[in-house]
């Protein structure tokens, strides 16, 4: 876990890049650093599985039942049309249309939940209607202080 956290910190600070994770400028611009790091870990686990990496992934809150698939949030300016939904399905992306949360207030984009094959990150990010991509796999911690 400590190694994965250290890698995430170095990546977020721009000190380290995740070579092999994404080669497209669109993916690097649209995907969160957490998503890029998780996709990288999945790619490494598929290429050379290790029990230690699997434990790190679980400790980060990542689902490990299907290693080549990443659960994501796709941010969009408008709901998906049937044609765009079909386009994503050809990439192997499983979209959950009932999860759509529309733009609200100061938030100009809506988002929905999807499962993406890790090899589809660049193609998904290249879609002009995709505004942003983020991981839907993380371990959440309470933010409030106990008793206050």
Global pTM?
Answer: 0.81
Q: Which long-range contacts (CB under 8 A, 24 or more apart) does 100-109 make?
A: 103/77, 108/77, 109/75, 109/76, 109/77
pLDDT score of 142: 73
Task: Give the residue-averaged pLDDT of 72-78.
Answer: 95
Task: Give the residue-averaged pLDDT of 42-52.
Answer: 96
Asked whether the predicted pLDDT for residue 35 surpasses 80, the reply is yes
pLDDT score of 139: 74
């Amino acid at each position: 876990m400590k190694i994965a956290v250290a890698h995430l910190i170095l990546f977020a600070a721009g000190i380290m890049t995740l070579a092999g994770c994404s080669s497209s400028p669109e993916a690097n611009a649209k995907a969160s650093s957490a998503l890029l790091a998780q996709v990288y870990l999945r790619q490494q686990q598929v290429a050379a599985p290790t029990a230690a990496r699997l434990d790190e992934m679980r400790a980060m809150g990542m689902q490990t039942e299907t290693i080549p698939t990443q659960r994501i949030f796709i941010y969009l300016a408008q709901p998906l049309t049937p044609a765009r939904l079909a386009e994503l399905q050809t990439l192997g992306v499983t979209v959950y249309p009932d999860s759509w949360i529309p733009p609200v207030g100061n938030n100009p984009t809506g988002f929905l939940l999807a499962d993406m094959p890790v090899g589809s990150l660049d193609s998904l990010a290249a879609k002009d209607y995709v505004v942003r991509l983020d991981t839907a796999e993380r371990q959440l911690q309470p933010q409030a202080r106990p008793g206050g």
